[in-house]
Amino acid sequence: MTKTFYITTPIYYVNARPHIGHAYTTIACDTIARRHRMLGDDTWFLTGTDEHGQKIERAAKAAGKSPQQFADQVSAEFRALWNRMGLTYDDYIRTTSDRHKQGVQALWKRIKDNGHIYKSHYTGQYCVFDELYVDSVGPGAPCPECGRPTETVQEENYFFKLSAFQDQLIRLYTEQPDFIRPETRRNEVLSFVRGGLRDLSISRSTFSWGIPVPDDPKHVIYVWLDALANYITALGYGSNDTSKFDKYWPADVHMIGKEIVRFHCVYWPAFLLAAGLPLPRGITAHGWLLFEESKMSKSRGNIVRAETIVDVLGTDALRYFLLREVVFGQDGSFSFDALVQRYNSDLANGLGNLASRTLTMITRYFKGEVPYPSQTAHTPADAAIADAARKVIADYGTSFDQFQFSRALEAAWGLVAAVDKYIVENEPWALDEKKDEESRSRLATVLYTSAEALRIVTALVHPVMPDATAKIWAQMGLGDIKKFDLAQLQWGQLRLGTKLGEVQPVFPRADKSAVERMQQMEEQSASVGTGVSPVPSSEARQPAAMSATQTPPAKPAAAIPDGKISIDDFAKVELRVAQVKTAERVKGADKLLRLEVDLGTEVRQLVAGIAEAYEPETLIGRKVVIVANLTPRKLRGLESNGMIVAASPEGGKPVLASFLEDVPVGTRLK
């Protein structure tokens, strides 16, 4: 019987346009899905978009669109990009589709009927960015996960009896150690669950952008219960046709980024246990793609779009780079320089060069037909290549099945390098010149050996670089690589006399301007807004009214689409009332004052550029507004931990923001 294999990506939030962080997960899943198809497994690969919840509702509002219009637009952008990149997903689930809504409500009913849902009140903090209830902190506190301000939620909610599943979950992680990979993530989850689980609020009643709770439509279902259910609703769970669900569930792999481990490894299995449904076989969390040293994300404004790389170097180059350069499971930095360097060294000079020199020599010396290796003209060097290839087939498979893509590719490129060396040492061009029979036999053996090794590498790396390998395969006269059964791959299958196709380079060398071109394309894209374009980080941008009090940042401010920011972006700026305790001039700096201000919970030092407008002693006791969550920076050797807000008239002196009524110290401005 054919084995089934079901793999999923997270469904992506539609508040941000796709970038190579999203592409990374989708490419990894696509590569795994392709390998399983090539091995003959009945494979199902799911991706899609996560479209409900407060975060999306607010992002849509900020873009001046209805949530549905907004979701339609961005979901289509994700899909168009995946199509353009040739990603072979079998289904694309949207959480605003009827099939999904129906399935989520069915899941809710089942969990409720099983007695795991009750109604109560939630009073506590909520992080809209993570769509996460944060029970552990008080009002005004930042989210422990992302550091953004939390909001106080006070509502009647439905609760899920998560606490009742603590022991079952611990047993699951212990008895099935592969359930969460890699091990570091498993250990984190284990200690989180061992620390105790509280019941989880699973509905919201103060906004409406979500799936209504069955029989109580005042409530919408918590966006994470809604989103996680996509993995089964896409298979028809809760519909009249459950044939796919019966066939593919449980999933073999949920592939996710490390920041959403808790939702997948704690909440999701608990929901499934409560519903009496089988659990996924495994959840694998990879690390983050970093750009300029921090996680690539819309909110940090440091994204790189896949389109740019696809336009300049092609999809295969991006796929290869991400899987070769980043150790899967760990964070990895992206840079255009590293991308172009790898492209040239491993693809243009590596695999591409091996293919073109081997196939060109066969064309030239043997009229384009794979020659017969001689029975007699053998050397240990030929056998060494055959042995190395056999070992690579085995090692590549083992590494790949553990999602150690970089190790698998390293092994394959070890063979590429070995064959290159073999060609140089055996000098086929010199053998051709000799024209005697023995040299001719030797030439045939060397070129057969090289071509066979090339065939093996090409077949192995097809899931990683589908386009280029399909071309090499066709140039080798082997037809459609998609029809090749990878499970049968072994040394010596290259048929003698195979007629080669037309030989053409597959990876033209990238010149120095490639880096610049990609950088320029990204800069241009950042400056044309579509309502969901990247918004630069608060550090890179300073509103004019705040500029007088701190030296402007070194980074140039990127353009903001149509000059507007979303409420989410504003919410990131923590403005608070503070009272000046001490004030003094900074030696040698005419414009600067050193201040100590009381925030209610702490006293901080600030350095502000207001010395020309205010005598230090007039400020003592005055209530001011400060930006409380800025990264500290040094001015004249003094740490400034925040920034005073002032109006800065053009050519005039700064005027501090203040209040007509009295306001308690520490109060947040919203």
CB of 369 to ligand MSP, least distance (A): 46
How many residues are listed for the chain in this entry?
A: 670
CB of 49 to ligand MSP, least distance (A): 8
CB of 412 to ligand MSP, least distance (A): 24
CB of 52 to ligand MSP, least distance (A): 10
Phi (first) and psi of residue 433, to 5 degrees: -70, -25
Nearest-angstrom CA–CA distance, 218 and 208: 8
CA dihedral 493, 494, 497, 502 (to 10 degrees): 150
Q: What angle do CA 93, 94, 97 make, to 5 degrees?
A: 110
Residue pair 452/383 in contact (Cβ under 8 Å)? The answer is no
- Closest to ligand MSP by CB, 261 vs 478, is 261
- Closest to ligand MSP by CB, 46 vs 415, is 46
CB of 285 to ligand MSP, least distance (A): 8
Q: What angle do CA 503, 504, 507 make, to 5 degrees?
A: 135
Residue pair 300/537 in contact (Cβ under 8 Å)? The answer is yes
- Closest to ligand MSP by CB, 21 vs 314, is 21
Nearest-angstrom CA–CA distance, 626 and 628: 6
- Closest to ligand MSP by CB, 180 vs 227, is 227
- Closest to ligand MSP by CB, 16 vs 169, is 16
Phi-psi domain of 152 (left: phi exceeds 0; alpha: psi -120 through 50; beta: other) = beta
Nearest-angstrom CA–CA distance, 241 and 368: 53
CB of 131 to ligand MSP, least distance (A): 8
Nearest-angstrom CA–CA distance, 18 and 303: 9
- Closest to ligand MSP by CB, 17 vs 604, is 17
CB of 187 to ligand MSP, least distance (A): 19
The closest of 121, 178, 129 to 154, measured between CA atoms, is: 121
CB of 347 to ligand MSP, least distance (A): 22
The DSSP element (H or E) to which 109 belongs, if any, is helix 98-113
- Closest to ligand MSP by CB, 74 vs 385, is 74
Tokens of 98: 């009827």
- Closest to ligand MSP by CB, 263 vs 400, is 263
CB of 25 to ligand MSP, least distance (A): 4
Residue pair 128/172 in contact (Cβ under 8 Å)? The answer is no
CB of 202 to ligand MSP, least distance (A): 14
CB of 227 to ligand MSP, least distance (A): 4
- Closest to ligand MSP by CB, 225 vs 503, is 225
* Helix boundaries (H) for 332-379: 336-342, 353-366
- Closest to ligand MSP by CB, 339 vs 481, is 339
* Helix boundaries (H) for 114-182: 166-175
- Closest to ligand MSP by CB, 284 vs 445, is 284
| Binding region for ligand MSP (CB under 6 A) | 10-13, 21-22, 24-25, 50, 227-228, 230, 256-257, 259-260, 288-289, 295-297
CB of 92 to ligand MSP, least distance (A): 14
Beta strands 151-160 and 200-201: pairing type? antiparallel
Q: What is the DSSP string of 205-241?
A: -S---SPEETTEEEEEE-HHHHHHTHHHHTTTTTSS-
Strand partners, 290: 295, 333
CB of 179 to ligand MSP, least distance (A): 17
Phi-psi domain of 604 (left: phi exceeds 0; alpha: psi -120 through 50; beta: other) = beta
Tokens of 415: 């063979």
SS (H, E, C) 391-411: HHHHHHHHHHHCCCHHHHHHH
Q: What is the DSSP string of 397-459?
A: HHHHHTT-HHHHHHHHHHHHHHHHHHHHHH-HHHHHHH-SHHHHHHHHHHHHHHHHHHHHHHH
- Closest to ligand MSP by CB, 79 vs 604, is 79
- Closest to ligand MSP by CB, 21 vs 501, is 21
The DSSP element (H or E) to which 306 belongs, if any, is helix 306-313
CB of 73 to ligand MSP, least distance (A): 15
- Closest to ligand MSP by CB, 331 vs 467, is 331
| Residue 199 CB contacts under 8 Å (≥ 6 apart), including other chains | 159, 160, 161, 162, 163
